[in-house]
Structure formats: C-alpha cells, structure tokens
C-alpha cells in the first residue's frame, strides 16, 4: 500500500516584548487541534529547516520592519524556503489608530524574496512599562495607544484557514 506523508510545519516567530510569541503559540495550538504536525521555534534558534515542508513565519514590526532575527532567518534560508510552502504574519499597531507607527512597508521586500501563500497583519499590544526609554519615546512620538488589541478569534481563524490549505496541499 502506498504510504502518504502529511506536511510537517514549523511555526517560526520573532518577538521583542512577547505579544508575537503569544500569537505564534495560539497559531500552533490551533494547527495541532486541526491535526497538523507542527513544531514551534524562535527564529534565532532555528538551525536546520530541511525536515519541514512548510513554515508559518511571524514577526512583530518595529519602525516598519520585521525583527532582525526573522530577517536573518529568511536571508540564511532563502533558497530552501523558496522551495517550501510559506505563510506569514506581522504583529503591529498600524491600523489601530491614525497617527500611529507607519504601515509595515519594509516588511514587503523581505517577503518578496520567498513568496508566501498569504501574509496577514494582526493588531498587537503596547505595554509602556515593558519598553525601554528609547522605545517608549518613539512610541509616544508616533502617537501610540496603550493596550492589547490582539483579536484571538481572528488569529485562530487564520490558523484554521492555514490548516485547510495544508490539508488541500496534502491531497
């Protein structure tokens, strides 16, 4: 009998103050609940990606850019990632309120290198007491609103859409 192997997925995340890490955890939980074989790792800790068929890559956005560790992960694995199935998400506060930090425009080029099937932006969290002085003043200058704007239903439902996509790729 022919053996079919389902895709193995790695959720890779980069987070400075924890809100994106929690989003990544919710996504892997949801994928596993849908029966997907998924691991989760921080971008800076990923060494070998050869055993994975697909990646859900997510980073927080600072000054319109993905975190250094995520950009390094993509650059280091670009050729291999190009051959795999990719989904991407950004966590930021653009769209939360006008006058807030700019759209993550520079997130684009790093993603163009690898062509994800989808890229979703989720509203994040701003907790001034967690920030460095410098970050706090940048956030204040940008007119940032304090609060947790993460929409867990939206996040989990996006993860379920990915699970569906993976299952259709498996068939």
Footprint on residues 35-74 left by ligand FMN (CB under 6 A): 60-64
Applying CB under 6 A, among 57, 88, 110, 139 the residue interacting with ligand FMN is 139
Does residue 92 belong to the site contacting ligand FMN (CB under 6 A)? yes
Dihedrals φ, ψ of 53, to 5°? -100, -25
Does residue 111 belong to the site contacting ligand FMN (CB under 6 A)? no
For the chain, the maximum distance between any two Cα atoms, rounded to a whole number of angstroms, is: 64
Q: Among 17-25, 28-36, 44-52, 71-79, which window interacts with ligand FMN (CB under 6 A)? A: 17-25
- Ranges assigned E (strand) in the chain: 8-14, 37-42, 54-62, 65-66, 85-92, 118-123, 125-126, 147-148
DSSP letters, 65-106, are EE-HHHHHHHHHHHHHHHTSEEEEEEEE-TTTSTTSSPP-TT
Angle between helices 152-170 and 19-33 (to 10 degrees): 50
Smallest gap, in angstroms, from Cβ of residue 35 to ligand FMN?
28
Applying CB under 6 A, among 16, 119, 120, 160 the residue interacting with ligand FMN is 16
- Using CB under 6 A, count the residues that bind ligand FMN: 25
Smallest gap, in angstroms, from Cβ of residue 171 to ligand FMN?
35
CA angle 88/94/97 to nearest 5° reads 150
Applying CB under 6 A, among 124, 155, 159, 166 the residue interacting with ligand FMN is 124
Q: Residues in the site for ligand FMN, rule: CB under 6 A?
A: 15-20, 60-64, 91-94, 101-102, 104, 124-126, 131, 135, 138-139
């Amino acid at each position: 009998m022919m053996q079919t192997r389902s895709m193995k997925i790695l959720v890779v995340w980069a987070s400075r103050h924890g809100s994106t890490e929690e989003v990544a955890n919710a996504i892997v939980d949801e994928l596993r609940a849908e029966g997907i074989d998924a691991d989760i790792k921080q971008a800076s800790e990923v060494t070998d990606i050869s055993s994975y068929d697909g990646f859900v890559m997510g980073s927080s956005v600072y000054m319109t850019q993905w975190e250094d560790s995520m950009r390094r992960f993509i650059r280091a694995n670009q050729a291999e990632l190009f051959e795999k199935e990719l989904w991407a998400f950004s966590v930021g506060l653009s769209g939360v309120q006008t006058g807030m930090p700019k759209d993550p425009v520079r997130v684009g080029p790093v993603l163009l290198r690898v062509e994800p099937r989808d890229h979703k932006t989720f509203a994040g969290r701003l907790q001034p007491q967690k920030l460095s002085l410098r970050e706090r003043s940048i956030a204040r200058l940008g007119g940032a609103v304090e609060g947790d704007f993460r929409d867990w239903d939206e996040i989990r439902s996006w993860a379920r859409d990915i699970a569906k996509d993976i299952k259709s790729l498996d068939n």
